[in-house]
Amino acid sequence: MANDPVCGMQVDEARACAAERGARVVADAYTCAMCPDVRADRPGGCPSCGMALAAPLATTPAHREYVCPMHPEIVRPDPGTCPICGMALELRVIEAEPTEDPELGAMRLRLRMTTALTVPLVALAMTDMLPGASMHRVLGPHLFAWAQFALATPVVLWGGAPFFTRGWQSVVRRRANMFTLIALGTGAAYAHSVVATLAPQIFPVAFREHDGAVPLYFEAAAVITVLVLLGQVLELRARSRTSDAIRALLGLTPPTARLVTGDGDRDVAVADVHVDDRVRVRPGERIPVDGVLEDGASTVDESMLTGEPMPVAKHVGERVTGGTVNGAGSFVVRAERVGNATVLAQIVRMVGEAQRSRAPIQRLADRVASVFVPVVIVAAAATFVGWALLGPPPALAHALVSAVAVLIIACPCALGLATPMSIMVATGRGAHAGVLVKNATALETLRAVDTLVVDKTGTLTEGRPAVTAIRAVDDVDEAVLLRLAASVEQRSEHPIAAAVLTAAKARGLTLDVVHDFESHTGMGVVGDVGGRRIALGNRALMRAEGGDVTTFVDDAARRAAEGQTVLFVAADHEVLGILAVADPVKASAPEALQRLRAEGLRTVMLTGDTRATAESVARRLGIDDVVAEVLPEEKRAVIQRLQAEGRTVAMAGDGINDAPALAQADVGIAMATGTDVAIESAGITLLRGDLGGVVRARRLSRATLRNIRQNLFFAFVYNALGVPLAAGVLYPLLGWALNPMLAAAAMSLSSVSVITNALRLRRVRL
């Protein structure tokens, strides 16, 4: 046993218990975002870069936390209701396997039981409308009232108990909400009917009908309770569907892994796989962890991350991601990230956090909701007074019915749910399209962006050098020239050497052994290959080696002007040809930029690279504004200058040097192929690492804001029309007043309609 480094609890030494986070953390799970090879069994600073080490949460929490969908600041360790709005709390961290919501189960039971009692109650009350079949006459007024009382009391007092409890809590906490109105309306109708049953003689003439009887509203109170219960069931079911996107992502991780041990392979739970364990992945299986191929080769379907349908070839030394699907081959992976440190788990975490964030547009609904219930209560009181003074006989009976209808039809929850439901569904939809939204503010702001600042390396270009051209003298084959160059570059660690070696590997060339290797800083490399002195480098190296570059000087100058690096290849002091190396433009960049320009966005390239290279890339992509040769700290200043001009700026980048600019921009957009520092500084992350994701993100932003506005419109118009109708504004013209039971049905459906509209975002095309 040992003390856990996070909470100090006595735990098994092989595992650490991060109790304050409610999760088990595997020993040595404290990792550095920038240095994936750095691991520790306790928090602290990274010995390489100094960043704070992070302990990721396990995929299955040791205990659950519950949060309010309307008020994410309300977090409780157990299920219950929100002290502000009275809504049922829901799981803060979605689990892979859907579990029965205790609130939904309780509401279903109450709905079934109350419906069974309300149907005969309504049938009994409605017999008054059938000539010659009135149970009022058959049973007599006294017994008729007691029969309704017997049926309605369990419906209202037991079935409606959650609403009365929440309504009373709202009064005690001085947080009036929807349940305050429901409790007042239903309680008034039921209490009036009980008193009319027990002591009808105390009611004045203004409460009595033409035959002298005091009207009863048992059936109205019961039907209102049943309809509100139905609305709660429909709302809870609809709310559970907003988490389907996260649940689908969680389901991508297989439950077991085939662990490679000295005694053979054996199947274990994924939770039992540790860093540096070796896992075998068979054909057609999902990869259980993030890691590096140590043995074998295959193709991997990474569409769940990139959206690209074409499988990607994977060989020894290349990384694979948990949740992706292996093709026809078999291979062994050494685990680098497990549990909640995997890319898939981080995606789920980011989507979950985004779903609980609040968009700026929510402030409008919050302001209205803060005064909504008091205004409705005042409106109900005014309605009662108006009907009592001006209504037809029995005036007080009409006044009570109309006041109850006003209380019941108003629904502040429709206003409160309008924004968070859309955000929850949109962030899940974005995750499936490769667009990770870190917070709702970024999603809302993106649609208003008019200027996109783009980093060059790694954003517009691939971010790694590649051989773009090979030119040899007439009597030398290009493959021979590349083989000689790659053979001598085997001993070099320069990025250009990696580009040459990658080109040779792509052509399947067999390299020769190099002897007497020499590296000349700023010039190139020299070595003995097959008994010949091979030199690869710039013109200065060729001069030192006595090679004549005249044949290629014009071609080299042209390529250099385009931002390419030109390498001369010489054998025994004779120049055989040139290799051109450059950072190639991403295949998706031209089309993405064209679409963004078509939407009216101004595009600015911001790079620390040379002006010649930057302008060369800009010409190929049709970018007019180029800011080159800037230091990392100067990038932020460029963003500030554009903002000072009144522009709404989005910054897309992938490097550590882009982090200050990403944080400064109105919306920071990071490439998932870049550094973790850039991702943490951005509000949106593009999993595919290309600008096509910006187009998809803007479409998602526009669709989300449109959906939120529709929800707010429904909620505002519903209440703006519903409350006056319930108050009886049409009675003087049409002689029509809204029945409280119809008001209850409308109120119950209002929240459901908002959630249903939000769920439409799951089908939006990006």
| Contact indicator for 53, 67 with CB cutoff of 8 Å | no
Residue 115 burial class via C-beta count within 10 angstroms: exposed 0-12, middle 13-18, buried 19 and up: middle
- Rounded to 5 degrees, what angle do the CA atoms 504, 508, 510 make? 80
Q: Give the residue from 86, 56, 47, 48 showing the smallest Cα distance to 68.
A: 86
- H or E stretch including 734? helix 731-734
* Paired strand residues for 320: 291
Q: Hey, is 74 helix, strand or coil?
A: coil
3-class state of residue 58 by DSSP: coil
Interatomic CA distance for residues 404 and 381, integer angstroms: 10
Whether 270 contacts 253, CB under 8 Å: yes
The dihedrals phi and psi of 105, each to the nearest 5 degrees, come to -60, -40
Please indicate whether residue 554 is annotated as part of the active site. no
List the structure tokens of 232.
Answer: 């709660």
**CA quadruple 323, 327, 333, 338: dihedral, nearest 10:** 0
* CA 80 – CA 165 distance, rounded (Å): 12
Q: Do 108 and 200 touch, CB atoms closer than 8 A?
A: no
Cis peptide leading into residue 660 (ω within 30°): no
Token pair belonging to 735: 């002689």
677 in Cβ contact with 33 (< 8 Å): yes
Judged on CB neighbours under 10 Å (0-12, 13-18, 19+), 212 is exposed
Q: Which of 455, 512, 609, 658 is catalytic?
A: 455
List Cβ neighbours of 431 (8 Å cut-off, separation of 6 or more): 245, 246, 249, 347, 351
User: Crossing angle, helix 478-489 and helix 495-506, to 10 degrees?
Assistant: 140
Residue 759 CA to residue 766 CA, distance in Å, equals: 15
Q: Tokens 């392979």 label which residue?
A: 265
Task: Compute the CA torsion angle 187, 189, 192, 196 (nearest 10 deg).
Answer: -130
Q: Do 302 and 283 meet the contact criterion of CB atoms below 8 Å apart?
A: no
Contact by Cβ (8 Å): 669, 697: yes
DSSP sequence for 392-411: PSSHHHHHHHHHHHHHHH--
Name the token pair of 140.
Answer: 């007599």
Tell the residue number behind the tokens 């052994």, with chain if given.
513
528 vs 473: CA distance, rounded Å: 21
Phi, psi of 252 (to 5 degrees): -75, -20
Residue 630's CB is within 10 A of a number of other CB atoms, namely: 18
Residue 410 in tokens: 């108003």
Q: Side chain identity at 554, as an amino acid letter?
A: D
Catalytic residues: 455
